[in-house]
Structure formats: structure tokens, C-alpha cells
Amino acid sequence: MDVVVGTCLKMCPEKEIETRQAEHLIHPLESADYIPSHSHTGRIWRLKGDPSKMVKAYLHSGVGKSTFLAEELRPFAVVVETTDYLLKQDMIVQQFPASQWIEILERMLLFYFYASYR
């Protein structure tokens, strides 16, 4: 099996950012601003994605896709950056108690130990 090395240096690939913006699939936590848009009922405002906040959506490989392109995958350093961003955002917004922070950090450490062992 060939190993694919990720080349996407952002948390979300450029192509996905464009697609999600065009299809209005921006989450409020991934937005920077609103942009005017038009519909059959008149002018409306849609979320404008902020590339520094957007995170690649999970896509199961069985959903019409058996392989991944390198430009859709993030190298290790970007995966770490994305993980840090998501954990901080989720944990701060929800104000997790210290005991839950410790549980998550323990799981992360196990992953890092396993990854460095392989």
C-alpha cells in the first residue's frame, strides 16, 4: 500500500473552502463576516468563511471515494495545529472542568506515544 504524504498547509484545503463558500456550508465558528447574497425573496446575508478558522470536513473514504489526494491531506505539523485549535475552541467555549481537560490530554498523549513508536 502506498503512503500518501499530505501537502495541505491549512486546516482546510483551498478547494473545500471554495466549495463550502459557494454552497453556503460555513459554520458560524468558521466565519469572519457576512456577505450579501440574493435569493428569490430578495437580498439576504450569508456567512463568509475565514480560512484561518475553517477546518476540513470529515469525509468517510467509503462515500464514493477510495483514495485521498495529497493536497486534501495535512502533514503532521498541520494536523497538530488543527487539533490544538479544535481542542482549545471546544473546551473554552464549553468551559470544560479541569478533570475533563486531563482526560482529553491523556488520550492525546497515548496517541503521540503510539505515533512516535510506529
Which pTM does this prediction carry? Answer: 0.70
Three-state DSSP state, 64: coil
**Res. 64: pLDDT tops 60:** no
Averaged pLDDT, 10-34: 92
44's CB contacts (< 8 A; 6+ apart) are 36, 37, 38
Q: Compute the distance between CA of residue 8 and CA of residue 41 in angstroms, rounded to an integer.
A: 38
**Res. 59: pLDDT tops 70:** yes
Q: Decide if 83 contacts 40 (C-beta within 8 A).
A: no
pLDDT at 75: 94
**Res. 87: pLDDT tops 90:** no
Confidence band (pLDDT; 50, 70, 90) for 63? low
**Res. 61: pLDDT tops 60:** yes
Q: Compute the distance between CA of residue 1 and CA of residue 79 in angstroms, rounded to an integer.
A: 22
